[in-house]
Chains A and B, each alone.
Chain A
Amino acid sequence: MSKLVVIGDGMVGRRFLEAVTQRDPSWEVTVLCEEPRPAYDRVRLSAFFDGVSAEELSLASELPNVEVKLGEPAVSIARTSKVVYSDKGEYPYDKLVFATGSYAFVPPMEGADLEGVFVYRTIDDLEAIKAHSAGKRHGVVIGGGLLGLEAANALKLLGLETQIVEFAPWLMARQLDEAGGGILKQHIEKLGIGVDCGTGGTKIEAVDGRLRMETNREDIAYDTDLIIFAAGVRPRDQLARECGIEVGERGGIITDLSCATSDPDVYAIGEVAAMEGMCYGLVAPGYSMAEVVADRLAGGEATFPGADMSTKLKLLGVDVAQFGAMDGPLSTTYLDPAHGTYAKLILSDDAQTLLGGMLVGDAEAYPLLRASVGGKVPGKLADLLGGGEIEGSLPDGAQVCSCNAVTKGDIMSAIHEDGCSDVPALKACTKAGTSCGSCVPMLKQLLKEGGVEVSNAVCEHFTQSRAELFDIVKVTGITTFSELIARHGTGAGCDLCKPTVASILASLSNGHILEGEQASLQDTNDHFLANMQRNGTYSVVPRIPGGEITPDKLIVIGEVAKEFDLYTKITGGQRIDMFGARVEDLPKIWRKLVDAGFESGHAYGKALRTVKSCVGTDWCRYGVQDSVKMAIDLELRYRGLRSPHKLKSAVSGCARECAEARGKDFGIIATEHGWNLYVGGNGGFTPRHADLLLSDVDSETLVRTIDRFLMFYISTADRLQRTSKWVEGLEGGIDYLREVIVDDKLGICGELDALMEKHVENYADEWKGVIDDPEKLERFVSFVNAPEAPDPTIEFEEVRGQKFPAGTTARSHSTPVALGTPVSLRSQGK
């Protein structure tokens, strides 16, 4: 096998590994990574201070034949013998790729090495900044470009009074003109951040435990606690220099358009590469280089397609975008100081072709404008500049996603030929929108243009979405399915719309789910208040709120399981599942459970399942709040709440997160000052960490916000849409959700509160409702004409001291397995 060595595991390096293993998995790849952690999303680095963890920023994935050596930087290269050396080993190569990226540039200044002076480049840098900022008051950021503003945002999130110092006469001088920079400064100063342009630090001193920075201006000096250099980056080309590979005058490893260096077996990609002498500081051109080299290593002829240096960012809450040329024959501008927006378009001399432009304060037109660069101006100038309604169609060659070089033509062919009908499908098929995501609104528009009607209709009987049906039921007060389908649908219904409507009726507190006509709508699990298993028997799960249970109750479960010969298993939700119950035994089982004080656990319903907890302050040495009590309170409050899909929750008593709350629909983590609330988490097929909605709130605020979150979800989600997809699908995401349920932007919080209040008041145990009702009990038989007879075709066999459905285990046991390999009954017994 040919050996490939990659130096550096950053965003571009990682993209290269993915591309190369996909095209030609036969390379034996070794990656030398200086940082102690594998590749992470440096573009979103500031999110680290917004509650996003280092793990979530990670881009690491398992790749075939790739070995990543963490914390092991390359130290030298012998090009004649083709070996890379680190302190720990030597790595021979057939091909070598430099993906070493950049380092933060620190101008030569007295005192730049003092304690409290940082750069802003790696997660380690951020952790050091965070540690140093504790208990501090003031911070200075040197640099008013992209990176500087990111760093200023970070200091603001850390609660520091923040000052930006920029040497250029205005902010973001590389992307904006003076007017644009001025509007941006206005926005930033409104946030309470100081901005001094035309100012450069000259000297830093330590004074009384703080820092003092003098500047080129006599009138300005800063007394501060912390200084961050964010004044640009330089290519990390030292290693290449030392082994005689050609580097540029201003740094960077010189490459041709195939990314080959002066040594044809050595390539350079990303920020370290000086492509025909030019270094690119953005991730998109780096990704293009990664693809070029992957293609070359697989025998291809790819060359660098040129770089789109367009950028769109939300900096400190302000939209800033720049695309195409900065200057040209004609330009037209629009400035609205009242709303703080500025737009400038650069045009060809006949004003027909768009060459570039910039937007500050409102960048809604960015996807369209960026994709139109080089083509016809895509609308009326007044609309484009002033944020009016824009109607226009892009040419097929226009690049929609610049990060991944996807054109409108690629998107349209994915829609028409590959049948992509939504944004996730387009992302998977074309990679568009998977990096910075700024083109996602454009993707939606192209789906519409491609004639894709995104239908949320429940089924063939209702053209309405679940959310629309919910509104109809709520507003009209209709309480039966037959009336709803007669007035608002067609036909007799089906297994999709009936349970959906049953759930809506239940969410709006319409009595017992097996009462009257509702009984005919329930899926079998809801109809028998238990989960049907593969052989037609049921499983029984009593509620154990918060996972807390007395020994006496444990004994009752054991006795019931023994009496009815049930297989028992501890669930992932901190309760106990009893399997193999015959339908006619369900009422007898529940009579005993209800008498012992148990209630339905709703394991069978699209409803609240469990609220897991860790042991919290009562027992744990680390706990900072009483997580068990909170979990019990929440589980009792929301028990029986029917929703578009199942709901899971957990409460952790400290940041160690033993209850795994961030994998839940709503998860709560205790802090020293109260609770953090996270929403939209999920395990399952597509795991997702929940997003932080609130921090450090008291119990009352916590519960009120969860009330509203749940009711807003129940009111507006699609059928079988978990909260994770629902939150992702909200236009405006978690910020919008916060505006609605915390700031009451839509004025609906009162109504949401009332709905939840009604649920809490009307809750009654479903199983108690059945065993006290002879008519409902009558349904729990295997045979209507032989109520006492069990189904004779149900058979069990014994394995590991418990019973299993006959046949399934035999199959799994006949499959030879290696010792120590766990055997999944489910997958073996399909």
Chain B
Amino acid sequence: MQSICAFDRIIPGRGVAALLEDGTQVAVFRLHDDSLYAVSNLDPFMDANVMSRGLVGDRGGEPIVTSPLLKQAFSLKTGACLDDELVALEVFAVEVLDGEVRVGVNSEVKASA
């Protein structure tokens, strides 16, 4: 797990991007209920690291982030793209410890990727 910023640094309802030690880019979102989610920052459709700048919300109750480029929705829980079943974002572990947001590589997802 790697610490990326103070929890308060993230505006409720928005995301930030973090650069992990191995060069991986992660998008971390804080929802309005203060829950946290982390997915890959790379938009798989446009091949640009922009997912952290997408809008969050829900589709039928499933928490989602929408790509800021072409607006595809992705589940924040599973990373699955809700508009194209062949595409998914990598999902990362995320936690708050002593007011700090920490992100870790989800080894299972990493292994199958």
Which of A380-388, A391-399, A436-444, A514-522 interfaces with chain B? A514-522
Contact B31 A536 (CB under 8 A): no
Q: Which of B56-64, B89-97, B105-113 contacts A (4 or more CB under 8 A)?
A: B56-64
Residues of B within 8 A of A823 (CB): none
Does B18 sit at the interface, judged by CB under 8 A? yes
Q: How far is the CA of A27 from the CA of B3 in the complex (A)?
A: 73
Q: Are A491's CB and B58's CB within 8 A?
A: yes
Shortest B12–chain A CB gap in Å is: 6
Q: Within 8 Å of chain A (Cβ to Cβ): is B4?
A: yes
CA distance A494 to B64 in the complex (A): 8
Residue of A nearest to B6 (CB): A784
Are A493 and B68 touching (Cβ within 8 A)?
no
Of chain A, the residue at the smallest CB distance from B55 is A495
List CB contacts (< 8 Å) of B13-46 with chain A: 13-14, 16-19, 23, 25, 28, 31-32, 46
CA distance A701 to B107 in the complex (A): 68
Stretch of A405-413, A524-532, A555-563 on the interface side: A524-532
- Of all chain B residues, which has the CB nearest A482? B32
- Point out the residue from B19, B32, B59 that lies within 8 Å of A783, measured CB to CB: B19
A606 at the interface (CB under 8 A from B): no
* Residue of chain A at shortest CB distance from B68: A524
Instruction: Say whether A494 contacts B4, CB under 8 Å.
Output: no
- Contact digits for A513-551, partner B, Cβ 8 Å, 1 yes 0 no: 000010111011101100010111000000000000000
Q: How far is the CB of B100 from chain A (nearest CB, A)?
A: 11
CB distance from A373 to the nearest CB of B (A): 49
* Interface check B11, CB cutoff 8 A: yes
Q: Judging by beta carbons under 8 Å apart, are A493 and B69 in contact?
A: no
Contact B57 A785 (CB under 8 A): no
Give every chain B residue within 8 A of A783 (Cβ-Cβ). Answer: 16-19, 25
Contact A494 B55 (CB under 8 A): yes
* Contact assessment for B50 and A495 in the assembled complex, using a CB-CB cutoff below 8 Å: no
1/0 per residue A304-323: CB within 8 Å of B? Answer: 00000000000000000000
Tell me the bound Cα distance from A521 to B11 in angstroms: 11
Q: Which chain A residue has the least Cβ–Cβ distance from B56?
A: A492
Closest beta carbon of chain B to A496's beta carbon, Å: 9
Residues of chain A within 8 A (CB-CB) of B16 are 783-784
CB distance from A793 to the nearest CB of B (A): 5
* Residues of A with C-beta under 8 A to B59: 460, 494
Q: When A498-B57, A520-B14 are in contact, do A785 and B48 touch as well, CB less than 8 Å?
A: no
Other-chain residue from B14, B17, B49, B57 in contact with A494 (beta carbon distance below 8 A): B57
Q: Are B12 and A493 in contact (CB under 8 A)?
A: no
B3 contact set on A, CB distance < 8 A = 785
Q: Are B5 and A785 in contact (CB under 8 A)?
A: yes
Q: Which residues of B contact A784 (CB under 8 A)?
A: 4-5, 9-10, 16-18, 28
Q: Let me know if A492 and B32 touch, CB within 8 A.
A: yes
Residues of B within 8 Å of A792, CB to CB, are: 23
Write out the residue numbers on chain B whose beta carbons fall within 8 Å of the beta carbon of A585: none
Against B, the Cβ 8 Å flags (1 = close, 0 = not) of A781-806 are 01111100101111000000000000
Contact residues in A for B4 (Cβ distance below 8 Å): 784-785
B57 near A536: Cβ-Cβ < 8 Å = no
Partner pick for B58 among A482, A492, A786, A793, CB 8 A cutoff:
A492
Alpha-carbon separation in the docked complex, A153 to B9 (Å)? 69
Closest Cβ of chain B: how far from A25's Cβ, in Å?
A: 36
A492: contacting residue among B57, B69, B73, CB under 8 A: B57
Task: Report which of B31, B48, B64, B73 forms a contact with A534, defined as CB distance below 8 A.
Answer: B48
Interface membership of A499, Cβ < 8 A: yes
Q: Check A791–B58 contact: CB distance below 8 A.
A: no
CA distance A149 to B98 in the complex (A): 84
6 A-B pairs with C-beta separation under 8 A: A493-B57, A498-B57, A528-B53, A532-B50, A786-B19, A793-B49
14 further interface pairs, Cβ-Cβ under 8 Å (given A495-B73, A524-B50, A782-B19): A460-B60, A482-B32, A491-B61, A498-B57, A523-B68, A524-B53, A535-B46, A536-B48, A783-B19, A784-B4, A784-B17, A792-B23, A793-B25, A793-B48
